[in-house]
Chains A and B, each alone.
Chain A
């Protein structure tokens, strides 16, 4: 079947089986490989993209379900104000270790801040718990989200507990 999708502001027309997950369209057909494959069942968040500005797991999103929803991937997220700030905070705090999950983390964090520019620790937990970091860089992910939001980065959860 022929599909026409909008990826990072560009119209792309593709011949695909209707059940092909968006992840493999992005990676293997459009060669946008920043979006990663981790589990195939929406359990890890490595494949997180934005559909209509909302985080979605590309590994379980069939191309036929995308319709006219604009898609933003890690390759395009720096075009938005929040995407630029989040990426800058990620680099300033040197968040990543292996880096494999970090595109998904940045996409989830950007969606959070676009909706909620001053997130609490609990907001961060709720928005980010779908994104596994196998290297466990969670301390810096939390701090970088706060840095992007212009909030103090110190982890004060224990004092408040």
Chain B
């Protein structure tokens, strides 16, 4: 079971402050202007106080239904998916639905986009809200007519009395329904899948038409009366103190309103991805502030004397690999005894680099600190709750005095689970005494990220005479901060093949790191899958086994493993080996895996499987190599099991395709290196995101196993990296053990 813990880690980072809720119920009220307002309340586990978690449904007298999307929209489609769940059970037509983005408000509970948790956390609550609304509208109609409610049914925004054929529209019933008591949410009747009218239908994104009109939806588009623009320059060497700067010279430049140094306190600096020292420049136009940066001279004082670099990390990793591990993550059986008896021993070392998120919308935030000390913020963030807390803590105010508007987000990928740009905007706006839009340049964005950690794996495994692994060891050299594993730099103790090889050891050593790390789309999995699933492929070939057959043998017969303890207020689905087998067999079937030996020389197929964020994904890549050694990917097949119901096929296929290509880009190009304590890459010419001419044909197949639906923002990403490298091994006989792929290693000599 690969990345289960990584999903939990991401969720935990994303959902701090998440309510663990036991029971939810509805309250009703009249909407402004008449009509029905349905509000969901949760009864918290920790206290008897019930917490209002938000108004989800408004039905106006004209029948227009306004549904609230509680979570941020980062391109994962939740602003469309969550209202679809409500609307289907409510029995309204999607054409009559309007969707409003919620503000950050404790009454909505946790509001975040992370851990692929939007679907599993909200699938049932949102349906129940809609179903409760439907039942109330039916009751209102039945009492109007004086008939039993069992004789009434709702469809397309109309309640109909079956025996008489009389009808009343939701718009006409809404005010009456608003006076009724809401039904118990836990016992409200939900539709059977064959009754769905919206769930499962290809549904376009609710904001898409307005995006193509150029409407001001994104954080960067925020425009307020009297607003100024700001840039904030930080030291390229992480964590440096700003000693002095040519502030007076900057202030004298055209269009500049103000310039000043912001000093982070020791308390601020102790917060990961909080406020750090920098120079703020405020101007009437962003371009003037940006131009002034070229004239800015700052004296920086590094906090530590060590100047980190990628070559130094590599030397330290090699040194640590020769030493005894610093700690043991997991130990099953007796690895050393088992390796001594193995028929064959295989050893290999793998590594991968730091990565930046490079969301296409650079970090930005607009803030207004008002005269009464209250704060209003417009933020493209995945995680507004912790952002507001960070602002409160840094400004020394109560979090209740901060209002956060969740704008549409031009890409998240985990970068915006952190809110450093939010606290910077608030601090600059407080100093300015007027609304300020802070916008980072692309170099600032790439050089001040929370990076996907690099890592080094030293594998050793023993095979028995049949080619089955009987001993497995990984000495994982990763990064730490103050002796603790850095954010998203851990190896989960249940990572495959743990539990499937009798004698196994996961060991770990840490390199101390000064730069910030953090979750990136499929944290852990985006790196670990490459190392582990490539090495498993090596073991298959060393043992003379078909990589598919070896995986099927290791997972064994279909069975459900014990369920992990509940987390995020939900039951964590147990790992099901049958679902792993299912997607492996499906992708083999669709890709023609069994006929791969008929491929021409120089072309190969590679396979990989990864379980993460409750999703089971197997992928096959067909690849060859161009004359210059660059990989040529001919096609990628994916088989995905995220449960019985694809809520919105429009979003689901898009997420899977995008995640696969995202992973492909990581394998081919992406690399953040460090020199003299600073990130070398500075823009999208040197940090090379995938382009359309590198995007091969894709085939995505969903396996509809009978399980509750889970999320799809992340699970399809990891397998493509090892599947590609495994294909290149067949094509060339050369094994890629370090990312990004170096074409020089693949060039035919």
A and B together in one complex: yes
Contact indicator A94/B360 (Cβ below 8 Å):
no
Please give the number of chain A residues whose Cβ is less than 8 angstroms from any Cβ of chain B in the complex.
60
Nearest-Cβ distance from residue A87 to partner chain B, whole angstroms: 5
Identify the interface centre among A46, A97, A131, A132: most chain B CB within 10 Å of its CB. A97
From DSSP, what is the main secondary structure of chain A's interface residues?
loop
Nearest-Cβ distance from residue B571 to partner chain A, whole angstroms: 29
Interface string of A1-45 (1 = CB under 8 A from B): 000000000000000010011001000110111111111110110
Indicate if B494 sits at the interface (CB-CB under 8 A): no
Contact indicator B214/A35 (Cβ below 8 Å):
yes
Provide the bound-state CA to CA distance between A3 and B446, in Å. 34
Whether A91 touches B209, Cβ cut-off 8 Å, given contacts A24-B287, A36-B361, A100-B218, is yes
Stretch at the interface among B262-270, B340-348, B368-376, B649-657: B649-657
Provide the bound-state CA to CA distance between A43 and B662, in Å. 18
User: Which one of A128, A131, A134, A139 contacts B358 once the chains associate, using CB atoms below 8 Å?
Assistant: A134
Instruction: Note all chain A residues with C-beta closer than 8 A to B359.
Output: 98, 100, 134
**Which residues 193-208 in B have Cβ within 8 Å of A in the complex?**
202-205, 207-208
Nearest-Cβ distance from residue B453 to partner chain A, whole angstroms: 20
Contact indicator A34/B213 (Cβ below 8 Å):
yes
Contact indicator A43/B212 (Cβ below 8 Å):
no
User: Which one of B660, B683, B685, B692 contacts A124 once the chains associate, using CB atoms below 8 Å?
Assistant: B692
Contact indicator B75/A99 (Cβ below 8 Å):
yes
Instruction: Note all chain A residues with C-beta closer than 8 A to B689.
Output: 44, 132, 134
Instruction: Note all chain A residues with C-beta closer than 8 A to B657.
Output: 136-137, 139-140
- Closest chain B residue to A35, Cβ basis: B214
Instruction: Note all chain A residues with C-beta closer than 8 A to B77.
Output: 97
Whether A28 touches B684, Cβ cut-off 8 Å, given contacts A94-B205, A129-B692, A135-B411, is no
User: Which one of A17, A24, A100 contacts B410 once the chains associate, using CB atoms below 8 Å?
Assistant: A100
Instruction: Note all chain A residues with C-beta closer than 8 A to B655.
Output: 97
Nearest-Cβ distance from residue B693 to partner chain A, whole angstroms: 4
Interface string of B640-669 (1 = CB under 8 A from A): 000000000011001101111110010000
User: Which one of B216, B634, B692, B695 contacts A161 once the chains associate, using CB atoms below 8 Å?
Assistant: B634
Contact indicator B654/A137 (Cβ below 8 Å):
yes
Interface string of B243-274 (1 = CB under 8 A from A): 00000000000100000000000000000000
- Closest chain A residue to B682, Cβ basis: A41
Nearest-Cβ distance from residue B281 to partner chain A, whole angstroms: 15
The 9 closest A-B pairs by CB, nearest first: A34-B214, A98-B75, A100-B410, A136-B661, A97-B75, A125-B693, A138-B695, A94-B650, A99-B211
With A97-B654, A137-B657 known, 19 other A-B pairs at CB within 8 A are A29-B285, A34-B213, A38-B362, A38-B684, A44-B689, A74-B213, A75-B214, A92-B204, A94-B205, A94-B208, A94-B654, A98-B360, A128-B693, A129-B692, A133-B360, A135-B658, A136-B660, A142-B692, A157-B696
